[in-house]
Amino acid sequence: MWLAIGLSLLLVFGLWVLTDQTIRGTMEASAEDAVDVDLAGLVDIYASVGQEELQSRIGDRLAITPADGSAPHYLLADDAGRRIAGDIANWPRLDPSVSESGRIRIGENTPAFARATQLGPDLRLLVARETGDSGPLLQRVALVFLIGGAVFVVLVGVFGRLAAARLHRRINLVNEAFRSPGGDSLASIERKHGSDEIDELAAHSAAALGRVRRLMEAYRDSSDQVAHEIRTPLMHLDGRLVRALAANPQPEVAERLVEARAEIRRLVGILESLLDIAASKARQGDRLGLEQLDLSAMVSRICDLYADSAEESGHSFEWRVEPDIWIAAEETQLSRLVTNLLDNAFKYVPEDGLVRLTLDPGPVLVVQDDGPGIPAEDRERVFERFYRGNGDKSGQPGSGLGLALARAIAERHGLQLTLEDSDAGAMFQLAKGEMR
């Protein structure tokens, strides 16, 4: 809008300059034409009836004031420049032998256009016409441009603001459809059938979002079906193992049956984690379902629960949570992220070890421990699926999906989960990132 106003001001100023110069040039050209016509007439009078009649006609013309205000001035002089008739006192520097013309001044301050001509061996004539009376006209023109230009600029600003607001509403409708693909905005842009570029963009956006929505529905259907087809047989197998244990088998057989049940639960957990990771990555940047969450209250509740567990496991657990930190999130997913980080810390920290959690505005969540830490070459790999690093060497149970799921949940909420440098142990940081 401001660019349009600036261009409008520049346009009005340019038109005023052009009009001013045109008026000045037209009036000067009019004065030159008037001088030439007047001079030709006087020359004809001299040629027809002589010098006395010419002097009489010059006197008559000086006695009349023209309606346009451009008063004529004359000088009839001998060859030495001495005045015979007219109101111009001195002969200007114009050569009458070549009918020279130019700008002169009448009196002290009145500009005029003049032309001189030689009438005879001892007689010359100068005709002049004032050109300095265009000032009032130019002032009125300038005033008209000032008032009209101000009105024009105001109208451009008003209509530009209205057009910008309308464009903003239309673009925001498309953006809202992308932010909430399942909301009413998508239905609104699907109903648009205009012919300009914005409507074309809305139509393409609606088509793209429709395809994405169909793909997501197909993905969810396929995921649910796969999960059902895998989970159901495993649960049936687990039921058979329970019945086998109920038959009081031999101790060695019972031990193997218990191990088999644990493996079934591990496989089900892996399946659910993989589905959760895929779902979180698929919804990355999608704000649908996010609500304002008191992150401070949620983290405090989780810390209270882990405080009791820390006492039982012989760990030290400290936390500091700043109050009233809010974020747009799904509480169940974000609580799972925090618990995964704490579970990971308590799993690898030996007894008497320390786990510390802090939450600061931003939000910035840090989970730090004084355990064995993670080698520098493994700092990014720990977020990969099924990568366990020291977990394989230490014999700790797990599937290597906890941190992968935590990062997927973080990215779904526009957060960044990173492993930072630490003097001892490992330090995971969850901070605000960009919604992608």
Burial class, 54, CB count within 10 angstroms (exposed 0-12 / middle 13-18 / buried 19+): buried
Q: How is the beta sheet containing 427-432 ordered, strand by strand?
A: 316-321, 354-360, 364-369, 427-432, 415-420
Q: Which two tokens stand for residue 233?
A: 């047989």
Measured in residues, the chain has a length of 436
- CA nearest to 340, candidates 352, 348, 350, 330: 348
- In whole angstroms, what is the distance from residue 238 CA to residue 263 CA? 10
**SS3 assignment, position 75:** strand
- In whole angstroms, what is the distance from residue 401 CA to residue 280 CA? 13
Hey, which bits of 309-410 come out as E strands? 316-321, 326-329, 354-360, 364-369
- In whole angstroms, what is the distance from residue 304 CA to residue 306 CA? 6
Q: Annotate 291-309 with b (16+ C-beta within 10 A) or e (fewer).
A: eebebbebbeebbeebeee
* C-beta of residue 122 within 8 angstroms of C-beta of residue 28: no
Residue-level pLDDT at 300:
92
Helices and strands (H, E) in the chain, number of each type: 10, 12
- In whole angstroms, what is the distance from residue 207 CA to residue 201 CA? 10
Residue-level pLDDT at 271:
66
Burial class, 312, CB count within 10 angstroms (exposed 0-12 / middle 13-18 / buried 19+): exposed
**SS3 assignment, position 325:** coil
Amino acid at 144: V
Can you list the domains of the chain with their CATH numbers? Answer: 2-134 (3.30.450), 291-432 (3.30.565.10)
- In whole angstroms, what is the distance from residue 207 CA to residue 174 CA? 12
pTM of the full predicted structure?
0.48
Residue-level pLDDT at 31:
77
Residue-level pLDDT at 168:
76
- In whole angstroms, what is the distance from residue 74 CA to residue 88 CA? 6
Q: Residues of the chain whose pLDDT is less than 50? A: 391-395, 435-436
